[in-house]
Chain A
Amino acid sequence: MKTILFLLRKEFLQIFRNRVIVAMIFVMPIIQLLILANAANYEVRNLKLQVIDQDHSSWSRQLVGHFTASPYFNLTGMVASAKKGITAIEADEADLVLHIPSGFERALRREGTASVHLNINAINGVKAGLASSYAQTIILDLHQEIMPVVELPAGLSSTFRYWYNPDMDYYTFMVPGILVLLVTLVGMFLSGLNIVKEKEIGTIEQINVSPIRKHQFIIGKLLPFWIIAQVELALGLTVGWLVFDIPIVGSLGVVFAFSSIYLLVVLGIGLLVSTFTDTQQQAMFISWFFLVIFILMSGLFTPIESMPGWAQQITRLNPVTYFVDVVRLVLLKGSSWWDIRSQWIALSIFAVVINGAAVLNYRKTD
C-alpha cells in the first residue's frame, strides 16, 4: 500500500509537470463539449427550397407560405417547370423542390385529396431524410388547417410526443455521449502511452530490478488515470449542466459508479495495448484504431438499430456502447442501478477478461 502511494505520488508529479497534458485535461472537456455538441447536431436548418407552383391558387400560396415561414427552409427561387427544378438540384441550388401541380386546390375542394411532389437531393442521406420529414410535417399542418373548410374525410391523423427529450433537443442527446468520449480518451490513451513511455526510455528496467511488484506497478500506473478520468467526467457534466442545461433526472452516483467499472475496461485495454507494443507510436496507432471503431459503432452518432445484424452483434462487445446507453438512460430517464444491471454486469465481465489478459501478457513479456 505504501509502495502504491509513492508510485501514485510520482505519477501525479510527472503528469502535472507535463503542461500539455494538464492543459488537455482541463481544456479538452470544455472545448470538446462546446464544439462537438454544436457541430454534431442533427438539426438541419436553411435547406434550400425551390418551388414550382403551377396552380397559383390561394391554397398553393398558403402551402408555400408555410414552407417559407419555417426556419428549416429558405426559399431560393421559383421555377417554372419540373425539369428546371431538377436542374436546380443538379446545380446544388436546391436541396428540395416542391412541385404543386395545376388543379391542386380544385382537386382538394372537389375530391378531398390532392398530391404535391417533392424532389429531394439525397447526396447527404441524413439531410434528405430530415428535409422529407420536415416537409411532410408542414404539409400535414396545411391539411389540418383546411380540413374544416372542405370537410375532408376523417383520415387517421397522428400526434406524438418525444419521451425523455420532449423538445428533441440535440444537446440533451449529444452531450452525455460526448462525456463518454472524454472519459474514454483519457482512460485508453493516457494510461497505455504512459506505460509504453517507461519502456521507451528504459526506466521500466530500473523498476523491474527493484522490489516493486508487478501488481503495484500496474495499479500505480492505472489508478492516476482512473482518478483523472472521473474528474474529467465531473468537469464535463458541470459544463453540460451549466452551458447546455442538460437534464439530470437520475442519480449522479449511478453515473459515477458505472464509470468506475467502465474505466476499468478502458484502462485495461490501454494496459493490454502497452504489453505488446514497444513505442508510444505503436501504442497510439493501435489504440486509435480501436477507439475509432468503438466510437463509430457506439450508437453515439448513428443509431445501432440502423446497423446491419452482424454489426449490431459487434456493438455488444463495444464498451463505449454500454456507457453511452447508460449515461443517457440515467441522465435523461432517471434509470436506477438496478435498471442498468445488464450493462454493468456485462462491463464487469469485460473488465475481468481484459485486465486478466493484460496481466497475463505482461508477465509473459517479462
Chain B
Amino acid sequence: MITIQANEVNKKYGDTIALRDLSLSVEKGELFGLIGPDGAGKTSLIRILTTLLLADKGTATVNGHDVVKSYRAIRRQVGYMPGRFSLYQDLSVEENLRFFATAFGTTIEANYDVIRDIYQQIEPFRRRRAGALSGGMKQKLALSCALVHRPEVLFLDEPTTGVDPVSRQEFWQILKGLQERGITILVSTPYMDEASLCDRIALIQDGQLLGIDTPAALRKAYPHPLWDLQSSRRYELLHFLRQQEFTLSVFPFGETLHLATRPDVPEHQIRESCYSQGFTDIQLTRIEATIEDCFMDRMAPTADPEIH
C-alpha cells in the first residue's frame, strides 16, 4: 500500500527551480530517505507533502488524501519536524508538549506509549525552558511534539543536521523503533552515511530525482570499477589522476580519493602510472561503491569535462 505519492511535482521560487517533475512513492511502514545536498529541493518537497506549500504543477497524496483538497485530513494524520528547532523557547518542556497535544485535541497521557522511549530521556528536565536545553535534547523534544498526536506518517526535515555523531546514531535508533510501531517515515538528510539506514532512498539534486531504490541496490548498480587511493600528496595526486586516460572521475572522499576508471583497467596500470610520477607512497584498494559514490556518479555524467 502506498502512503506517500508525488506525481511530477514542480515548484519555482521566482527564477529558481526548486523541484522539476519530481515523482516518488513511499510504501506504508517504510523508512524512506531523501538524500541530497543543501538546496536540492528536499525541504520544498516536504513542505508540499505537509500542506505548507502549494506545488506549481503536479499532484501529491498522503495517506490517500490530496495535499490540496484534503489538507485538513492530512494535518490530523501527519507529524512534522522542521529543520530548524522551532518550539516555544520560553515555555517549559512539558508545556511545549502539552500545547502541541492540545492543538491536536488530545493529551500527553493518551499517547504516552508513542513518545515514552524518547520523552523519558528528557522528562527529568520537564520543568526546564525549551530554550535552555542542549541540542540533542531539543531535538528529542521536537520529535516528541511531532509524535504526541500519534501520527500515521512522520516527516522529518534534516533532523540530524547540527547534531553530534553520538546523538545522530541514537536518533536513527529511535526512528527504527518508530518504524516498528508501523509509522511511515520520510526523512531528509544531507549526510550520505545515513542513507544506508533507510529502507529506500531517493537521491535528489537540483530538484530532480537522480535515482530511487534500496541503498544496497543503488550501490550494486554502480557501473564502474572503483578504487580507493591514499597518498601523502593527495592534492597533487588528484590533479594527476584527472588527466589520466583511464580515469572516469576522481574526487576526495574523507582522507582518501575515490577513483572510477574505465572498464578492464588493471590494477598495475594505475599503480605504475602513479609511481612513474613519483607518487610512491600510494595505497590502492578496489572497493564497493558507497551511496556518495552513487550520488556523485549520477549527479555528474562522466561525459562532463568540468567534473571529470
A203, B84: Cα distance in complex, Å: 10
Q: With A201-B89, A203-B86, A205-B82 in contact, is A210–B51 under 8 Å at CB?
A: no
Q: Which residues of A contact B72 (CB under 8 A)?
A: 211
Q: Is B32 an interface residue (CB 8 A)?
A: no
Q: With A211-B75, A211-B104 in contact, is A206–B80 under 8 Å at CB?
A: yes
Q: Which residues of A contact B95 (CB under 8 A)?
A: 10, 13
CB within 8 Å of A: which of B66-123? Answer: 72, 75-76, 78, 80, 82, 84-91, 95, 99-100, 102-105
Q: Is the CB of A206 within 8 A of B145?
A: yes
Please give the distance in Å from B3's CB to the nearest CB on chain A.
17
A159, B58: Cα distance in complex, Å: 82
| Interface size class, chain A | 10 to 19
Please give the distance in Å from A307's CB to the nearest CB on chain B.
43
Q: Is B52 an interface residue (CB 8 A)?
A: yes
Please give the distance in Å from B79's CB to the nearest CB on chain A.
8
Please give the distance in Å from B143's CB to the nearest CB on chain A.
12
Q: Which residues of B contact A206 (CB under 8 A)?
A: 80, 82, 86-87, 100, 145
A208, B71: Cα distance in complex, Å: 11
Please give the distance in Å from B90's CB to the nearest CB on chain A.
5
Q: Is the CB of A210 within 8 A of B100?
A: yes
Q: With A210-B75, A210-B100 in contact, is A17–B145 under 8 Å at CB?
A: no
Residue of B nearest to A5 (CB): B102
Q: Which residues of B contact A208 (CB under 8 A)?
A: 52
Q: Which residues of A contact B75 (CB under 8 A)?
A: 209-211
Q: Mark A188-208, 1 if CB is under 8 A from B, else 0.
A: 000000000000011101111
Q: Is A18 an interface residue (CB 8 A)?
A: yes
Q: Which residues of A contact B78 (CB under 8 A)?
A: 209
A127, B155: Cα distance in complex, Å: 68
Q: Which residues of A contact B104 (CB under 8 A)?
A: 210-211
Q: Is the CB of A203 within 8 A of B87?
A: yes
Q: Mark A1-29, 1 if CB is under 8 A from B, else 0.
A: 00100100010011001100000000000
Residue of A nearest to B89 (CB): A201
Q: Is B184 an interface residue (CB 8 A)?
A: no
* Main SS at interface, chain B: loop
The listed residue (B86, B90, B100) touching A14 by CB distance below 8 A is B90
Q: Is the CB of A13 within 8 A of B103?
A: no
A207, B96: Cα distance in complex, Å: 12
Please give the distance in Å from A210's CB to the nearest CB on chain B.
4
Q: With A13-B91, A201-B86, A202-B82 in contact, is A207–B103 under 8 Å at CB?
A: yes
Q: Which residues of A contact B84 (CB under 8 A)?
A: 202
A3, B192: Cα distance in complex, Å: 42
A13, B88: Cα distance in complex, Å: 11
Q: Which of A14, A202, A206, A212 has the most CB of B within 10 A?
A: A206
Q: Mark B239-265, 1 if CB is under 8 A from A, else 0.
A: 000000000000000000000000000
Q: Is the CB of B82 within 8 A of A211?
A: no
The listed residue (B80, B88, B89, B90) touching A209 by CB distance below 8 A is B80
Q: Is B50 an interface residue (CB 8 A)?
A: yes
CB within 8 Å of B: which of A26-70? Answer: none
Q: With A209-B78, A211-B76 in contact, is A202–B99 under 8 Å at CB?
A: no
Residue of B nearest to A205 (CB): B82
Q: Is the CB of A10 within 8 A of B99?
A: yes
Q: With A209-B78, A211-B104 in contact, is A202–B86 under 8 Å at CB?
A: yes
Q: With A205-B52, A209-B80 in contact, is A6–B102 under 8 Å at CB?
A: yes
Q: Which residues of A contact B145 (CB under 8 A)?
A: 206
Q: Which residues of B contact A203 (CB under 8 A)?
A: 86-88
A318, B104: Cα distance in complex, Å: 41
Q: Which of A6, A202, A203, A209 has the most CB of B within 10 A?
A: A209
Please give the distance in Å from B153's CB to the nearest CB on chain A.
11
Q: Is the CB of A205 within 8 A of B86?
A: yes
A201, B103: Cα distance in complex, Å: 18
A203, B91: Cα distance in complex, Å: 12
CB within 8 Å of A: which of B30-77? Answer: 50-52, 72, 75-76
A18, B88: Cα distance in complex, Å: 13
A79, B80: Cα distance in complex, Å: 84
Q: Is the CB of A209 within 8 A of B91?
A: no
Q: With A10-B99, A210-B75, A212-B103 in contact, is A205–B89 under 8 Å at CB?
A: no
A138, B57: Cα distance in complex, Å: 82
Q: With A13-B91, A18-B90 in contact, is A209–B99 under 8 Å at CB?
A: no
Please give the distance in Å from B107's CB to the nearest CB on chain A.
11
Beyond contacts A10-B95, A205-B86, A208-B52: 8 other A-B pairs, Cβ-Cβ < 8 A, are A6-B103, A10-B99, A14-B91, A17-B90, A202-B82, A206-B82, A206-B145, A209-B50
Name A residues whose Cβ lies closer than 8 Å to a Cβ of B: 3, 6, 10, 13-14, 17-18, 201-203, 205-212
In the assembled complex, 22 residue pairs joining A and B whose CB atoms fall closer than 8 Å, in A order, are A6-B103, A10-B91, A10-B99, A13-B95, A14-B88, A17-B91, A18-B90, A201-B89, A202-B82, A203-B87, A205-B80, A206-B82, A206-B145, A207-B103, A209-B50, A209-B51, A209-B75, A210-B104, A211-B72, A211-B75, A211-B104, A211-B105
